[in-house]
């Protein structure tokens, strides 16, 4: 802590030692309020103790007058903090790197002296508040800690207990007027209090805040806490977040909590009156002093920041007050007589103060610092993804873990090594959100035990496993299609973001799973080998089925599929091979087609052609016949068979199970489920009692949205665990297993029989609301069906894959495919236009909203 205070103290000396250089393009304005310098002159004036914010401008470039006007308006407040503002005019002959490259003119550069500290996109400096907030935020990197999780807040709180107090604030976005106000307060009080900032709404909710649409500020009283297990008291600032309001609030936090006086209340004056707050006198006498003092302290904590509280000693008072008076109220306005009250409840005292507190909040720069949740502010996005990305723009991602590609380096890179390429657009919110997940994958691969070497600052990975795995290096790369659109067009990239895997001699494979870390990591790891794996020995097949052959991949696929074919079953083998290639990145597939295949066929009672499905978690191997099946049938069989027997339902896998169109038998649990419940349900599944249902469970700790589901079913919410049957696809009825019965095999069978006989009453019925597009122009699913409907003369299977790359185009590594290859978990309706399977599902999903 001493080291931290020393750093804060030392840093305050160099607060003015910052240079903030912003690159822009504009014409000379006659109304500029900042000096104009040449690059050479400007850099010669920079000094360690002098801060400077400079605009570098091309003299012959088009105007960006709006941005210039905002900078001119920001000059005065920045100068108040010791930061001067200058405009630097560049000429064509200028050799400074800040005047040369066109793309550099779209960034802002933060310097300390002549040292570059950080660069920002200029769109972050959209107005005066944003400019001041960003400059001070960078300047006060020691005084203001930015956090994203409740654990971060608790760690800082624990470190401050018994030592110092904390000012914790939430703002909706970086660069807002509220963010500026917090930064300006931190500039003044940063060496006295630890300032903590967040833009995470979930963090605000976790500490019990209400009305989370507004900015919040709390004062944590941690220096009074001696017991580390005790939570710091928290006082919320109830006024809007303006610089003056925060200043007044912090001043009241510094004032004594309780003061004893023995003089005329009309003559008493404290800092609270000076700050416009009323005074509350708790009248005491010697006989009840201890009890009165405890009451006064309790009232003082409740009114902290709203009023000053004093303990008035009646026995030492020279003036007379009414005999039954126990509370005196003094307003902040002068010449207003005090009120003598008789209030025998603390809540009455609190309500009296709150009802009579008519403080007018100070507005700064008219309405600039006021926050209205109903205003369509430019920094609050309608799109939640866009707003989240906007909030997180200041986060520094370790982009060095991936290789940035350009038009010059793309072909050479993907031809030199097997590569994963992220195609994204810097202006696209979903792209920038997924970029964080992509970097998370790179971080996980860096720490993975299968990583052998790290090249180019950790971006090139060698994925090792058993001897049969592909041990070539896999390079993680990215290309910004906003800068290099020609390359993205050649690679058939028409939407963002998209990830493609490039391997020598193979067509590119596109990832279309969930846009998250786990799904992408699974896709990469399962693509380390080519599918289906060709197995030629019985011993190797047994190791494959036991999971020993690819044991390091079982984390990503708990099921292995082995196709059994006689050497003469050419068509069946081709169909299975095509299906295995289609399921690449989703499940492990292998093929055995040797003369001795009958050994495996007899051992597992499989009639050729057949599938052997190895469930490694359960230690079971099932056989599934493949007679008279085609590619799409094999894909569907493997997809359904690879589903877990008693799965944990999550947001990601719920659609997969809904497509089976069976009622859901869901066990809701607040954590792991009782093994006896699992045993009872699995036993009934083996006995075929649950064939018409999908038994599953939902962990509310892993999937908090489950609580909202239960509230839709129950009122009030009964204790957990709860077993519920939801008939989404036929009527929408919801049935609850009796909470007064234990979940046993016998009780479950009796309950299911009652349901079948219609003797159980439903607890609710989900409404049959359909999700229709507001206008025909928004019926995108119908457009997809029409666009992808197969031609009558075509005989290809109804799924899609990437077409072969023409031989003469291989050197250019252009992706000529018109349709992406997609894993089965996210099959779209367009893949199954000839089947009624998805059409029936589309109709039956009308009740899914309630689940």
- Report pLDDT digits (tens) over 240-258: 889 888 998 999 898 888 9
> pLDDT class for 844, splitting at 50, 70, 90?
very low
> pLDDT class for 751, splitting at 50, 70, 90?
very high
Tokens of 277: 């707050």
Best-predicted range by mean pLDDT (374-378, 529-533, 596-600): 596-600
CB 462 within 8 A of CB 528: no
Between β-strands 308-313 and 279-284, what pairing exists: parallel, antiparallel or unpaired?
A: parallel
**351 vs 840: which has the higher pLDDT:** 351
> pLDDT class for 125, splitting at 50, 70, 90?
confident
Q: Rounded to an integer, what is the distance from CA 588 to the centroid of its chain?
A: 30
CB 340 within 8 A of CB 328: yes
pLDDT value of residue 479: 92
pLDDT value of residue 803: 43
> pLDDT class for 462, splitting at 50, 70, 90?
very low
pLDDT value of residue 815: 53
Which of 782-814 are b and which e, b meaning 16 or more Cβ less than 10 Å from the residue's Cβ? Answer: eeebeeeeeeeeeeebbbbbbeebeeeeeeebb
pLDDT value of residue 448: 58
Three state DSSP letters for 628-651: CCCHHHHHHHHHHHCCCCCCECCC
For residues 41-52, give the mean pLDDT.
76
> pLDDT class for 197, splitting at 50, 70, 90?
very high
Tokens of 431: 């792209």
Min mean pLDDT across 99-108, 593-602, 726-735 is at 99-108
How would you classify residue 688: left for phi > 0, otherwise alpha for psi between -120 and 50, otherwise beta? left
pLDDT value of residue 393: 60
Share of the chain above pLDDT 70, in %: 74
| pLDDT at 62 exceeding the cut of 80 | no
Average pLDDT score over the chain: 76
**537 vs 74: which has the higher pLDDT:** 537
Q: What is the pLDDT of residues 551-604, one digit of tens each?
A: 878 778 878 889 999 889 988 888 888 888 888 878 888 999 888 889 888 888
| pLDDT at 758 exceeding the cut of 80 | yes
pLDDT value of residue 500: 92
The angle at the Cα of 515, spanning 513 to 518, to the nearest 5 degrees, equals: 80
Those residues with Cβ within 8 angstroms of residue 506's Cβ, 6 or more apart along the chain or in another chain: 530
pLDDT value of residue 666: 93
**697 vs 29: which has the higher pLDDT:** 697
Q: What is the pLDDT of residues 9-22, one digit of tens each?
A: 444 433 434 444 44
| pLDDT at 324 exceeding the cut of 90 | no
Tokens of 133: 């907030």
**282 vs 794: which has the higher pLDDT:** 282
pLDDT value of residue 688: 87
Q: List 219's β-bridge partners, or say none.
A: 167, 235
pLDDT value of residue 415: 85
Q: At what angle do helices 177-189 and 128-139 cross, to 10 degrees?
A: 40
Q: How far apart are CA 18 and CA 116, in angstroms?
A: 10
CB 510 within 8 A of CB 500: yes
Q: How far apart are CA 358 and CA 352, in angstroms?
A: 12
| pLDDT at 422 exceeding the cut of 90 | yes
Residue 152: count other Cβ atoms within 10 Å of its Cβ.
Answer: 16
| pLDDT at 97 exceeding the cut of 90 | no
pLDDT value of residue 794: 36
pLDDT value of residue 133: 87
Q: How far is CA 633 from CA 305, 513, 582, 606, in A?
A: 69, 21, 12, 18
**820 vs 278: which has the higher pLDDT:** 278
| pLDDT at 627 exceeding the cut of 80 | yes
pLDDT value of residue 379: 42
For residues 463-484, give the mean pLDDT.
65
Tokens of 742: 């234990």
Best-predicted range by mean pLDDT (269-283, 343-357, 807-821, 824-838): 269-283
Q: How far apart are CA 88 and CA 624, in angstroms?
A: 75
Q: Which parts of 29-100 fold into alpha helices (H)?
A: 39-45, 65-80, 97-100
| pLDDT at 50 exceeding the cut of 90 | no
Strands of 737-809 (E only): list them: 764-765
For residues 456-479, give the mean pLDDT.
51
**381 vs 493: which has the higher pLDDT:** 493
Residue 222: count other Cβ atoms within 10 Å of its Cβ.
Answer: 24
């Amino acid at each position: 802590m001493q080291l931290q205070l020393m750093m804060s103290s030392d840093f305050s000396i160099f607060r003015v030692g910052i240079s903030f250089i912003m690159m822009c393009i504009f014409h000379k304005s006659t109304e500029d309020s900042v000096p104009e310098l040449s690059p050479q002159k400007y850099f010669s004036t920079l000094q360690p103790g002098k801060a400077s914010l400079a605009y570098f401008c091309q003299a012959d470039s088009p105007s960006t007058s709006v941005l210039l006007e905002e900078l001119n308006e920001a000059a005065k407040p920045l100068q108040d903090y010791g930061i001067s503002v200058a405009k630097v005019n560049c000429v064509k002959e200028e050799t400074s790197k800040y005047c040369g490259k066109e793309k550099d003119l779209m960034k802002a550069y933060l310097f300390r002296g002549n040292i570059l500290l950080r660069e920002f996109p200029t769109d972050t400096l959209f107005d005066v508040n944003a400019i001041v907030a960003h400059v001070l935020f960078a300047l006060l990197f020691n005084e203001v800690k930015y956090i994203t999780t409740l654990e971060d807040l608790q760690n800082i709180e624990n470190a401050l207990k018994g030592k110092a107090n904390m000012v914790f604030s939430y703002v909706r976005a970086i660069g807002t007027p509220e963010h500026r106000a917090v930064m300006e307060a931190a500039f003044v009080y940063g060496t006295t209090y630890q300032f903590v900032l967040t833009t995470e709404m979930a963090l605000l909710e976790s500490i019990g805040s209400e009305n989370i649409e507004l900015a919040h500020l709390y004062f944590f009283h941690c220096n009074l806490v001696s017991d580390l297990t005790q939570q710091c008291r928290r006082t919320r600032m109830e006024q809007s977040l303006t610089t003056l309001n925060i200043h007044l609030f912090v001043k009241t936090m510094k004032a004594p909590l309780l003061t004893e006086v023995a003089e005329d209340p009309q003559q008493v004056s404290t800092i609270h009156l000076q700050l416009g707050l009323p005074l509350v006198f708790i009248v005491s006498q010697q006989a009840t002093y201890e009890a009165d003092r405890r009451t006064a302290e309790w009232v003082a904590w409740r009114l902290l920041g709203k009023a000053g509280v004093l303990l008035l000693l009646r026995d030492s008072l020279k003036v007379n007050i009414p005999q039954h008076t126990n509370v005196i109220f003094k307003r902040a306005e002068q010449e207003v007589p005090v009120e003598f009250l008789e209030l025998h409840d603390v809540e009455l005292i609190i309500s009296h103060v709150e009802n009579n507190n008519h403080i007018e909040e100070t507005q700064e720069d008219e309405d600039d610092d006021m926050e209205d949740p109903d205003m369509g502010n430019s920094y609050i996005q309608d799109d939640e993804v866009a707003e989240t990305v906007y909030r997180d723009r200041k986060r520094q991602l370790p982009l060095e873990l991936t290789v940035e590609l350009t038009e010059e380096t793309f072909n050479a890179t993907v031809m030199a090594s097997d590569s994963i390429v992220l195609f994204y657009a810097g202006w696209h919110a979903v792209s920038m959100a997924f970029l964080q997940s992509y970097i998370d994958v790179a971080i996980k691969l860096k720490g993975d035990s299968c990583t052998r070497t790290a090249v180019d600052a950790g971006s090139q990975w060698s994925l090792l496993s058993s001897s049969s795995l592909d041990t070539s290096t896999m390079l993680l790369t990215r290309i910004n299609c906003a800068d290099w659109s020609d390359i993205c067009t050649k690679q058939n990239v028409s939407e963002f973001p998209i990830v493609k895997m490039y391997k020598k001699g193979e067509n590119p494979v596109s990832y279309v799973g969930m846009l998250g870390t786990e799904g992408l990591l699974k896709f990469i790891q399962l693509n380390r080998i080519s599918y289906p794996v060709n197995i030629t020995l019985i011993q190797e097949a047994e190791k494959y089925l036991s999971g020993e052959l690819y044991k390091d991949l079982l984390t990503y696929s708990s099921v292995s599929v082995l196709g059994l074919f006689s050497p003469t079953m050419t068509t069946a083998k081709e169909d299975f091979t095509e299906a295995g290639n289609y399921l690449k990145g989703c499940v492990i597939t292998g093929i055995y087609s040797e003369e001795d295949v009958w050994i495996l066929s007899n051992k597992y009672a499989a009639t050729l052609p057949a599938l052997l499905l190895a469930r490694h978690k359960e230690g079971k191997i099932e056989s599934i016949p493949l007679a008279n099946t085609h590619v799409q049938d094999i894909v569907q069989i493997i997809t359904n068979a690879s589903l877990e027997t008693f799965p944990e339902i999550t947001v990601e896998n719920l659609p997969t199970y809904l497509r089976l169109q069976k009622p859901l038998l869901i066990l809701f649990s607040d954590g792991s489920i009782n093994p006896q419940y699992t045993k009872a349900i699995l036993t009934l599944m083996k006995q075929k009692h649950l064939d018409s249902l999908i038994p599953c469970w939902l962990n509310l700790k892993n999937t908090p949205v489950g609580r909202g589901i239960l509230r839709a079913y129950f009122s009030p919410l009964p204790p957990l665990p709860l077993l519920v049957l939801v008939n989404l696809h036929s009527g929408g009825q919801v049935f609850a297993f009796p909470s007064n019965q234990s979940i046993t095999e016998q009780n479950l069978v009796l309950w299911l029989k009652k349901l079948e006989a219609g003797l159980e009453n439903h607890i609710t019925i989900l409404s049959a609301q359909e999700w229709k597009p507001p206008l025909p122009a928004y019926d995108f699913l119908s457009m997809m069906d029409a666009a992808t409907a197969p031609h009558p003369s075509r005989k290809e299977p109804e799924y899609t894959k990437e077409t072969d790359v023409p031989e003469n185009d291989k050197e250019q590594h252009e992706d000529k495919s018109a349709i992406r290859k997609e894993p089965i978990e996210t099959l779209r309706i367009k893949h199954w236009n000839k089947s009624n399977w998805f059409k029936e599902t589309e109709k039956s999903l009308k009740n899914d909203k309630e689940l």
